[in-house]
Chain A
Amino acid sequence: AQTVTQSQPEMSVQEAETVTLSCTYDTSESNYYLFWYKQPPSRQMILVIRQEAYKQQNATENRFSVNFQKAAKSFSLKISDSQLGDTAMYFCAFMSFNAGNMLTFGGGTRLMVKP
């Protein structure tokens, strides 16, 4: 069974600054996907970024980028030029190649962007 751990329950950052959210996972599988989802107060989970484990290049989506360290089983999210709209819960999630579309989530990090 896979486990996903987010060690930072809460974080805060000043608007326009950069923040990094941590995520570690444990799996015996070699093929999988990793995701970061954002859940704003509206409760709807929104995909932020996705990384295929077989790709060495770190994924980037505009202001969001990841640092994927497969050997260390680490998958951190960097948010550059933080905006007030980035205030939300952020969840790291794991999807095995062998389990359909089932996601295993971490406990989440509550991010507050301060003006």
Chain B
Amino acid sequence: DIQMTQSPSSLSTSVGDRVTITCRASQRISSFLSWYQHRPGIAPKLLIYAASRLQSGVPSRFSGSGSGTNFTLTISNLQPEDFATYYCQQSYDTPRTFGQGTELELK
């Protein structure tokens, strides 16, 4: 199975900050990488697909980069609604593994 390792596991941050979350795959996955936002009581939401493509309707302060084994999600100018848990996921092979999640907390 392809292991997905996210860091950090949690991050204390403030409105207006810029944050970067990293995701490393245990083997090369090309651009088969997506990022999701999950807020309590709300269905997970697709933010980025194909490593760097912004899903329709997602604010441009979200961006993704990377290819192969190393990927990043960057959120610029954090807004109150961005405090949530973020997951990366590979779709290169089954099982479709997720990272363990990164929780953004209000400082």
The answer to whether A and B come from one shared complex is: no
| Residues of A bordering B, CB below 8 Å | none
| Residues of B bordering A, CB below 8 Å | none
